[in-house]
């Protein structure tokens, strides 16, 4: 989490992402930000022109600016 450039690999790729109009993205908030694997996901999939529905869990912080990408 300290290395903002780190992009952990995604184990299983979603096939036919282009067939989806709406994508739900869920993650826990860690140290006030999304886990770095969410950055991997954003960068590997073309989410342009899709409706993104984010949801997150957190014990003490909100989603902040995570969804500005």
Report the run of H or E that residue 39 belongs to, with start and end: helix 36-44
* pLDDT at residue 3, rounded to an integer: 83
52 has a pLDDT exceeding 80:
yes
- Tell me how long the chain is: 69
d(CA 57, CA 54): 11
* pLDDT at residue 46, rounded to an integer: 78
Give per-residue pLDDT as tens, 2-23: 788 899 999 998 999 999 999 9
CA-derived radius of gyration, the chain: 12
Give per-residue pLDDT as tens, 24-49: 999 998 878 889 999 999 999 979 99
DSSP label of 33 = B
Q: Quickly tell me which residue has 């989410």 as its tokens.
A: 47
Cβ-proximal residues to 32 (8 Å cutoff; 6+ apart), any chain: 61, 64
64 has a pLDDT exceeding 90:
no
């Amino acid at each position: 989490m300290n290395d903002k450039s780190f992009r952990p690999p995604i184990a299983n790729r979603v096939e036919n992402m282009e067939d989806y109009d709406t994508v739900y993205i869920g993650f826990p908030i860690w140290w006030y930000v999304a886990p770095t694997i969410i950055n991997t996901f954003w960068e590997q999939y073309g989410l342009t022109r899709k409706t993104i529905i984010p949801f997150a869990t957190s014990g003490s912080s909100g989603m902040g600016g995570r969804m500005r990408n």
